[in-house]
């Protein structure tokens, strides 16, 4: 199976959806932050490994704690994934922190700040004329 095949894409989406549900409903580890979301899943074409990209709404310490909690729960999540998905092999899960959502929020805030400054400057220039 090629990396960008339709079958691999469907498997990635299904693993992402199922893991999101499992983390939200089954993981009771206090280290796992309640605002944790599965951003993406990349399952290898041979179905042996999977990189799971996790986003946590919080600071760096909460992200690190969540990744530690998910690493310790990986075997349980893998067995639950095997029960629910009919795959030849159930992939070994590797969790990776994804800061793209936080980066997007910070960039949006910077753009809003610049826009507000420009509007303020334009209104000051209009009152001077």
* Residue 1, pLDDT score: 59
The reported pLDDT for the residue numbered 106 is 85
Q: What is the pLDDT of residue 125?
A: 79
What DSSP string runs through 63-81?
Answer: HHHHHHHHHHTHHHHHHHH
Q: Who contacts 30 (Cβ-Cβ below 8 Å, separation ≥6)? A: 69
- Give tens-digit pLDDT for 1-29: 566 788 899 999 999 999 999 999 988 88
Q: What angle do CA 115, 120, 123 make, to 5 degrees?
A: 125
Give the pLDDT of residue 39.
92
pLDDT at 112: 93
- Whether the predicted model's global pTM rises above the 0.85 cut: no
The tens digit of pLDDT for each residue in 63-87 reads: 899 999 999 999 999 999 999 988 8
């Amino acid at each position: 199976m090629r990396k960008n095949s339709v079958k691999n894409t469907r498997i990635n989406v299904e693993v992402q959806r199922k893991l999101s549900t499992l983390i939200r409903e089954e993981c009771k580890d206090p280290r796992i932050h309640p605002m944790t979301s599965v951003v993406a899943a990349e399952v290898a074409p041979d179905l042996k490994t999977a990189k799971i990209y996790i986003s946590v709404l919080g600071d760096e310490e909460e992200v690190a704690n969540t990744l530690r909690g998910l690493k310790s729960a990986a075997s349980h999540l893998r067995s639950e994934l095997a029960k629910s998905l009919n795959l030849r092999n159930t992939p070994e899960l590797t969790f990776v922190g994804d800061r793209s959502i936080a980066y997007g929020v910070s960039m949006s805030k910077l753009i809003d700040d610049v826009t507000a400054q420009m509007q303020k400057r334009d209104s000051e220039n209009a009152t001077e004329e």
